[in-house]
Amino acid sequence: MSEIKKEYIEKVRPKLQKDLKIKNLMAAPKLTKIVVNMGLGEAVKDKAIIAEFESQLIAIVGQKPRKNRARKSVAGFNLREGQVIGLSVTLRGQRMYDFFEKFIRIVLPRMRDFRGVPLKNFDGQGNYSIGISEQIVFSEVDYSKVKKVKGLEITFVTTAKKDKNAKKLLELLGMPFEKEKK
Listed range (9-23, 92-106, 109-123) with the worst mean pLDDT: 109-123
Q: What integer pLDDT is reported at residue 181 of this predicted model?
A: 64
Give pLDDT tens digits for 32-64: 999 999 887 666 567 777 888 888 888 888 899
Distance between CA atoms of residues 157 and 90, nearest Å: 10
Number of DSSP helices (H) and strands (E) in the chain, helices first: 6, 5
Strand ranges inside the chain, DSSP E: 31-39, 66-69, 84-91, 128-132, 152-158
**Which three-class secondary structure state does DSSP give residue 83?**
coil
- Of residues 150 and 12, the one with the higher pLDDT is 12
Q: What integer pLDDT is reported at residue 27 of this predicted model?
A: 87
Partners of 154 in the beta sheet? 36, 130
Partners of 38 in the beta sheet? 87
What does R_g of the chain's alpha carbons equal in angstroms?
Answer: 18
User: Rounded to 10 degrees, what is the CA torsion of 48, 50, 52, 58?
Assistant: -160
Cβ atoms 95, 103 nearer than 8 A: no
Q: What integer pLDDT is reported at residue 149 of this predicted model?
A: 75
Q: What integer pLDDT is reported at residue 88 of this predicted model?
A: 92
- Of residues 136 and 57, the one with the higher pLDDT is 57
Cβ atoms 85, 43 nearer than 8 A: yes
Q: What superfamily in CATH does domain 3-171 come from?
A: Ribosomal protein L5 (3.30.1440.10)
Q: Indicate the residue type of 44.
A: V
Distance between CA atoms of residues 175 and 112, nearest Å: 17
pLDDT band at residue 22, thresholds of 50, 70 and 90?
Answer: confident
| pLDDT(129) > 80 | yes
- Of residues 69 and 144, the one with the higher pLDDT is 69
Distance between CA atoms of residues 36 and 87, nearest Å: 8
Domain boundary assignment for the chain: 3-171
| pLDDT(95) > 80 | yes
Percentage of the chain exceeding pLDDT 90: 20
| pLDDT(84) > 90 | no
What is the pTM for the complete model shown? 0.86
Count Cβ neighbours within 10 Å for each residue of 143-175 and write b for 16 or more, e otherwise: eeeeeeebebebbbbbebeebebbbbbbebbbb
Torsion-angle region of 81 (φ positive above 0: left; ψ -120 to 50: alpha; else: beta)? beta
